[in-house]
Amino acid sequence: MPANLMSKKVMKALAAEAAGVAGSQGNARVKEVAERVLYRMMQVIDECDVSMDEFWAAVGFIAKTAKNGEFGLMVPGVAIEHFLDLRLDEAERLAGIEGGTMRTIEGPLYVAGAPLTKGEARMDDGTDPGEVFIISGQVRGEDGNPIAGAVVDLWHANSKGGYSFIDGEQAAYNLRRRIETDSEGRYTARTIVPNGYGCPPESATRELMNMLGRHAERPAHVHYFVTAPGYRQLTTQINFTGDKYLHTDFAFGTRDELIVTLDRVTDPRRIAEAGLNKPFARTTFDIVLTRERAQAPRTVVQREHVIAA
């Protein structure tokens, strides 16, 4: 069939009717969004001359994504989770909120309820052959003053790129910890250097990336949620210089401000000072939180999270 067969008027009217726009019943917010989504779907079908076969293939693909529980993975893969961050950045800028650490996506692999300790934590259970990694930093406010009692909630993959709970191979909460900052606002995590994550071979998300001619890999990263009373919650990640996928993250999570360098410690004296017996990696990541204020866009996201038993 030719493209652009339909008049805008016909499509608009049909979308409005399907979304119940004329009536007073139902949920006004759902109607408002549904009308636009339906109109745009019709436009895409008409502009691209989407065949009925193609349309039902797409429905099947979405159904498979849902059946696999993969929407949390697909959403960052098509840049929409990053887009939500860009919108929030812009809203904060307009509200005059500036100077905090850059945010980036949460992703689908957070597990709530990780063990909480004060000042420092060991995140790995000692079974991962990965390189020992020490991350430390200070949490401060916009005024530069340290924030004692902030909670730094960290999670990351193992040296195979797998996350505990999700991969079913690791002890509960391995590589997931909450650290309360000390009196100087400092936190220290001893862990192992993570590997990047790749979408599962049979996943719909990888299938989509293949169809788009993109890869389905993330660079190595460590996720952060940082909270403190009176401050705006921060969701972020760090990445490492030199990573093969640093600037082509399939999930669009890399931001220049969040790239840190892994410092390789090989000097025997420094190794001994750290209480270790072999070379290790370390990095520093300081965090600035902005003050919570009235009428600011929310940074706390209501989202379903699993809790490991």
Q: Which residues form the interface with Fe ion (CB under 5 A)?
A: 107
Q: Quote the least distance from Cβ 83 to ligand MBD, whole Å.
A: 13
> Distances in Å between the alpha carbon of 12 and those of 15, 28, 48, 49, 249?
5, 18, 17, 18, 37
Q: How far is the CB of 175 from Fe ion (least distance, A)?
A: 11
Is residue 76 part of the contact set for ligand MBD (CB under 6 A)?
A: yes
For residue 11, the minimal CB distance to ligand MBD (Å) is 35
132: three-class secondary structure by DSSP: strand
Residues 75, 81 contacting (CB under 8 angstroms):
yes
CA–CA dist 201, 210 (Å, integer): 11
The site string for ligand MBD over 210-239 (x = CB under 6 A, - otherwise) reads: --------x---------------------
100's contact among ligand MBD, Fe ion, none, with CB below 5 to 8 A by partner kind, is none
Neighbours of 176 (CB within 10 A): 25
Q: Which is nearer to ligand MBD, 45 or 114 (CB)?
A: 114
Residues 18-57: x/- map of binding to ligand MBD (CB under 6 A)?
----------------------------------------
The answer to whether residue 15 forms part of the interface with ligand MBD (CB under 6 A) is no
| CB of residue 304 to Fe ion, shortest distance in Å | 17
Contacts 24+ apart (CB under 8 A), 294-301: 295/95, 296/92, 296/95, 296/97, 296/232, 297/88, 297/91, 297/92, 297/95, 299/88, 299/103, 299/232, 299/233, 299/234, 299/235, 300/233, 301/106, 301/235
Contacting range for ligand MBD; rule: CB under 6 A; set: 45-53, 59-67, 88-96, 101-109:
101-109
Comparing CB distances to ligand MBD, the nearer of 51 and 210 is: 210
**C-beta closer to ligand MBD: residue 42 or 75:** 75
Q: Which does 194 bind (CB under 5 to 8 A by kind): ligand MBD, Fe ion, none?
A: none
d(CA 198, CA 156): 13
Query: Among ligand MBD, Fe ion, none, what binds residue 103 when CB lies within 5 to 8 Å by partner kind?
Result: none
- In the complex, which residue's CB is closest to ligand MBD? 107
Tokens of 130: 């990965």
Examine residue 73 and tell whether it contacts ligand MBD (CB under 6 A): yes
Query: Tokens for 297?
Result: 């866009």
Which of residues 251, 262, 265, 281 is near ligand MBD by CB under 6 A?
A: 251
DSSP for 102-119, written as a single string: PP----S--EE---EEES
Q: What is the dihedral of CA 104, 157, 249, 87, to 10 degrees?
A: -20
Choosing among Fe ion, ligand MBD, none, which partner's interface includes residue 141 (Cβ < 5 to 8 Å by kind)? none
Q: Which is nearer to ligand MBD, 13 or 80 (CB)?
A: 80
Rounded Cα distance, 9 and 17, in Å? 12
Contact (Cβ atoms closer than 8 angstroms) between residue 191 and residue 175: yes
Long-range contacts of 260-264 (CB under 8 A, 24+ apart): 260/284, 260/285, 262/133, 262/193
Q: How far is the CB of 159 from ligand MBD (least distance, A)?
A: 14
| Residue 253 binds: one of ligand MBD, Fe ion, none (C-beta under 5 to 8 A by kind) | ligand MBD
Binding residues vs ligand MBD (CB under 6 A): 73, 76, 105, 107-109, 197, 218, 251, 253
